[in-house]
Amino acid sequence: MKIGTYTSFNQMLIVTVGLALAFSCDNQNELPDRGYTLVWSDEFNGNSGDPPNPNFWSYDIGRGINGWGNNELQFYTNRPQNISLDGRGNMVITAIKESYQGSAYTSARIKTKGLKEFKYGRVEARLKTPYSQGLWPAFWVLGNNIDEVSWPQCGEIDIMELRGQQPSIIAGSIHGPGYSAGNAIGKSFHLIDARFDTEYHVFAVEWGPDFIDFFVDKNLYQRLSPANLPNASEWVFDKPFFILLNVAVGGDYVGAPSTNSRFPQTMIVDYVRVYQ
């Protein structure tokens, strides 16, 4: 969902939806059984108000360059009012409308960069999104060589991003050299008579040398491979990636909050798990 320090990520997201093809939960696919076993997880167990485990997660702090590359409006902090455990096995990211360090909103973004990085397997999270015009939650991964090659050469997989004003639709996409920002490759998935902010859902990708499958709950709604890339484009999903979770406010993908937008807004994460 976003780049920020990783500059253009959000632009990609923006475009992502433009490219998206709709897929509803009425569609069912035969699920692959790849024999994965759990290799890492964070179940977010701990006391209410505790920070996420520092052995797993670090923070992006501040406003980023050009609003993290996407004209986002929030200031990311590591304050417990923006990110903490709830004491019931969840990690909560809270977007708040408040004046702070020159921004009108605060929120949080965490990442496993340099701490927990993975190549191939299944990466999943069970979570409940926020909603409202101008909210932009995301669960995504970036290539761990981003500091060496920059974005989009490092690659990015957006496992889940959502426009708060469309709480029944999520998007999944990939970004790389020649297919980023407005040219990202992806698809949307929408619930029928339901919303992603009212119940927990599991968002996942299963990823191998030549495929990335996208899931919502037990629905495989998209499969991407090198054959989906533009001619002569490079498949860059062949090294370790790190995981990110965040809630942005405003930005090119969702637009600014309206007078009817409600704050605070929370993304409640039950767990993040990786299987290989």
Residue 207 near residue 121, CB atoms below 8 Å? yes
Which residues are part of the catalytic machinery? 156, 161
CB atoms within 10 A of CB 132: 20
Residue 72 near residue 257, CB atoms below 8 Å? no
CA distance 175 to 254: 19
What are the backbone dihedrals phi and psi of residue 83, each rounded to the nearest 5 degrees, phi first? -155, 125
Nearest 5°: CA angle at 216, between 210 and 219? Answer: 80
